[in-house]
Structure 1
Amino acid sequence: MENQEIIKVEHVSMRFSLASEKVTSFKEYVIKTAKKQLSYGEFWALKDVSFSINKGDALGLIGLNGSGKSTMLKVIAGVLKPTKGSVQIGGSVAPLIELGAGFDYDLTAEENVYLNGALLGYSRQEMQKHYEDIVEFSELKDFMNVPVKNFSSGMISRLAFSIATIGIPDILIVDEVLSVGDFRFQEKCKNRIKHMLDQGTTLLFVSHSIEQVEELCNKVVWLDKGTVKMFGDSKNIAEIYSAS
């Protein structure tokens, strides 16, 4: 493992505006907005979060629902711009945050391989080189000419994971991916992640399974209501977290 900083999060805060009233339709939203009947409150999903990890580290983000884990991943991936603070990234990022988010559900699985690859920054030629590996790993050989709208959530997850993990990215961001699909395929995904870690990939990993975090990660950030409760060695923090 190289002692080279690859991700630095400095004093990151993320604010969202929430409507104080429930609006059940777009028409009602337009009317209430025009009449200035809608007011908005502030919700801070992240509050002054700071940590850094080195190249080759595997960092688990743990905490209860609503603690800010997924928001933190989206800020690091560049999906969200923080309200305050900064994030410095020292390499290429392969985000597995919302599986299938880059798919066109009217297109076939094969067409989506090239579409999703383009969104991840790969050329068509590069995707052609990896195509057979994607099909084999996803175990969807008989479904590549089927529109993705006919896929189950598990099939979509398998295809998206297979595309996002081609090659060896500098940073792999994984959000609850291993909770989808059957146990055998989850193990297959874990083994691929471990192989990428062996090749020097840095991992950011969110899972509700503290056992998966302990198995894959050497460091942990414990988030509580948007703030860092603990940051450090995964086994020590996982033990405290499990007992809390």
Structure 2
Amino acid sequence: MDKEMVIKVDHVSMKFNLATEQYSGFKEYVIRSLKKKISYNEFWALKDVSFSVMRGDGLGLIGLNGSGKSTMLKTIAGVLKPTEGSIWLQGRVAPLIELGAGFDFDLTARENVFLNGALLGYSRNIMEENYNDIVEFSELHDFMDVPVKNFSSGMISRLAFAIATIGIPDILIVDEVLSVGDFRFQQKCEARIRNMKDNGTTILFVSHSIEQVKSICNKIVWLDHGRVKAFGDAESICDEYSKLQ
């Protein structure tokens, strides 16, 4: 039986306007803007990108820094709207794109569990049902009543990952989150991701570790200066990419 498509990226391009000059402050910027004396350079972070992803696939995005990987994930997550083209999604998306995104750092970890859950579209009842699992998985038992501003980046990563992976989301987006923290916890996160994939969750994954990508993903989009250089089998494309490193 053919797999069901859950993501379709159709000729997507993303343009940013980069100011060509530096300004001494916001006031100067506003004045020059009102006088229309600001010049920009166009920068295309993505250019005519197309691919589709099926339910239960693990799709890795690889490429050098600045190739457009994170921009692509942000357009799929709805954080950015593409300049050209369209993105179609089916199902609920759980994004893990930036550490601490959606957290209020003045609140405790316990309070942020419910705040972040609400931002992901979960009711308070669902968060209460999953609270113990979040604490157990994140291994932050002794720190749940501590303000998040006192957390290390590794602790924030643990909490964010534990919240985003409750239940079985349709699509999980992971951008470099597993690069933070100790190796044992990274393995624990990888195991949970593989389990979610086995249960039908579609994974979009970015990591500097090609071995990590090969472990989780069965398909690859290789981006080069915002364009698709290759799309297909993870093993063969990762091996080709590794030869250039």
User: Which residue of structure 1 lines up, in the alignment, with residue 41 of structure 2?
Assistant: 41
Q: Distance in 2 between matches of 1:239 and 1:85?
A: 30
The 5 A counterparts of 1:72-91 are 72-91=72-91
Structure 2 alignment gaps of length 5 or more: none
C-alpha RMSD over aligned residues? 1.2
Q: Distance in 1 between matches of 2:161 and 2:79?
A: 18
Q: State the Cα distance separating 1:22 from its structure 2 match.
A: 1.7
Q: Distance in 2 between matches of 1:172 and 1:25?
A: 39
Q: State the Cα distance separating 1:31 from its structure 2 match.
A: 3.5
Amino acid at match of 1:76: I
Contact 1:109 1:143 in 2 (8 A): yes
User: Which residue of structure 2 lines up, in the alignment, with residue 123 of structure 1?
Assistant: 123
SS in 1 for 2:79: coil
Deviations 1:126-179 (A, max 9, x none): 000000000111111111111111111111111001000000001110000110
User: Which residue of structure 2 lines up, in the alignment, with residue 30 of structure 1?
Assistant: 30
Deviations 1:90-111 (A, max 9, x none): 1111111112110011111000
User: Which residue of structure 2 lines up, in the alignment, with residue 236 of structure 1?
Assistant: 236
Deviations 1:7-33 (A, max 9, x none): 111100001111011224223322332
SS in 2 for 1:56: coil
SS in 2 for 1:91: coil
User: Which residue of structure 2 lines up, in the alignment, with residue 193 of structure 1?
Assistant: 193
Q: Residues 2 and 189 from structure 1, CA distance in 2 versus in 1: closer, same or farther, beyond 3 angstroms?
A: farther
Q: Distance in 1 between matches of 2:2 and 2:80?
A: 28
Contact 2:99 2:153 in 1 (8 A): no
Q: State the Cα distance separating 1:41 from its structure 2 match.
A: 1.5
Q: State the Cα distance separating 1:35 from its structure 2 match.
A: 4.2
The 5 A counterparts of 1:154-193 are 154-193=154-193
Identity of aligned pairs, percent? 73
User: Which residue of structure 1 lines up, in the alignment, with residue 51 of structure 2?
Assistant: 51
Contact 1:2 1:54 in 2 (8 A): no
Q: Which moved more, 1:22-31 or 1:152-161?
A: 22-31
Structure 1 alignment gaps of length 5 or more: none
> What is the TM-score with the length of structure 1 in the denominator?
0.97
Q: Residues 132 and 222 from structure 1, CA distance in 2 versus in 1: closer, same or farther, beyond 3 angstroms?
A: same
